[in-house]
Structure 1
C-alpha cells in the first residue's frame, strides 16, 4: 500500500510503516522496470544509474508527489574545511516531511551479489552494511535500505552467506529476519544494528533478480 501525501514524523529521520512499504515497492518495481535496459557484464555503478532512472519513471507513473528521488548523494564533513568527501550513497529518497533537511533522507546502498561468488556477498556486508553501522551512511536514522542485485541464483545461498557474515561481525542480535515477500523480489529481510554503539538502526535488505546484468559465461574450449 502506498503512503498518502501527508507529512509524517518528528524527527525527520523517522519513517512510517506506509513509507517503508512505499520504498520497498518502489525499489522492486524500479528494478523490474530497469531490466530491459541492462546488458550482460554491466557493472554496479552503471546498473544503479539505470535503476535510478527507472525509479523516477515508476514514481511518475504511480503519481507519487510526496517524495523525491535523488541521484548519488555526496556526504561531506560540514565541521571541516577538508574538501574530501566522506562517501557517496547510491540512491537517496526524501519524503515530504524530510524536505529542507539535507541530513534527512532514505539511504539505499546497492551491491552486486552472486550465488557462486562469496566474495561479493562478503563485500555486501563489509562495503555496504558496515557503512550504516559506522554512521557513515544514515547517521542517526531509524531506517536504511540495502539493495542486492542478484547476478546468479539461488538467492537463498546469497542470503545465507550474508546473514552468516553479519552475525559473525556484529553478533547474533543482528541476524536477518525474513519478511513478507514482494512479488518482484527474490527475498526481503530485516535486521537491527548498533550504529556507533549507541543508536539502533534497522536495515531492510531487498534482493532482486538482475541476472540480465550477469557476466557473459566464458565459452568452453574446443576439444
Structure 2
C-alpha cells in the first residue's frame, strides 16, 4: 500500500500491493463460502452480510492475520453546504497495519444481492445504481485506487449475472467500465475487474466478486 499526502486531483491517495489484494479476495471468498451453510431462504442483504463478516473474522484469526482488521458496517462522513452528514454506511471494511491511524484509509467492500434470470433483474440493476455508483461519486473510497463489490448470487449461473451487470454498467457509464475476468478463486463463481473514474477525477479499479449464496435448503 502506498500512502501519499495532499495528492494532486486525479491521483489515488493510496493503493494496495498485489499480495494485499490477494489477501482481501481470499478472505472475502472464504468468508462467503463458510457463511453460506448458515443462510436460510429469503434472507435479506444485511443479515447475510453480518454472517459473512463474522465468518471473515473467524477465518482471519485461524490464519493468524494479525496485521489486518475486519470491521462491520462503517459510517462514512461527508461535509456539505448543509453541514456534516452521514454519506453512507459501507458494508465491510478491512484495514492493513499500514492503514491504522488514518480513518479515511480503508479497503471498502459493498455487498449486494444478485441473480440469474428475469426475476432478479431489479437486484442486478441495484447492484450498479445503489452499489457501484457509490465508488464513482466518491461516497465510498474517495480518492482510493481500489474498491470491492461482493455479489450474493441467489440463482445461477454466474456468467449470466456478470452479463447483466455488464450491460447495466455500459448502459449507464459507457464502455470504459466493462468487466474483465481476472484470477479465479475456488470459492467464487466469478471475479472481474472494471475501471471507473470518480467524480474528483481519480481512477478507481473495482473488483467484482460473485459468490454462490443459494442456501442449501433452497437447492433442488
Scaled by the length of structure 2, the TM-score of the pair is 0.90
| 1:1-223 → structure 2 map (5 Å cutoff) | 8-11=1-4, 13-77=14-78, 82=83, 84-116=85-117, 117-196=120-199, 198-212=201-215
The answer to whether the 8 Å contact 1:42/1:215 transfers is no
Structure 1 gaps of 5+ residues are 1-7, 218-223
How many residue pairs get matched? 210
The answer to whether the 8 Å contact 1:143/1:203 transfers is yes
CA–CA separation in structure 2 for the residues paired with 1:213 and 1:48: 17
Scaled by the length of structure 1, the TM-score of the pair is 0.89
CA–CA separation in structure 2 for the residues paired with 1:78 and 1:133: 17
CA RMSD of aligned residues (A): 1.9
- CA displacement, residues 50-104 of structure 1 (integer Å, 9 cap, x when unaligned): 0000000000011101110011010112577846411000000001111000000
Change over 3 Å in CA distance of 1:32–1:16 after alignment to 2: same
CA–CA separation in structure 1 for the residues paired with 2:216 and 2:131: 20
The answer to whether the 8 Å contact 1:133/1:193 transfers is yes
Higher strand share: 2
- Point out which structure has higher relative CO (alpha carbons under 8 A, 6+ apart): 2
CA–CA separation in structure 2 for the residues paired with 1:18 and 1:172: 29
Shift, 1:9, TM fit: 2.1
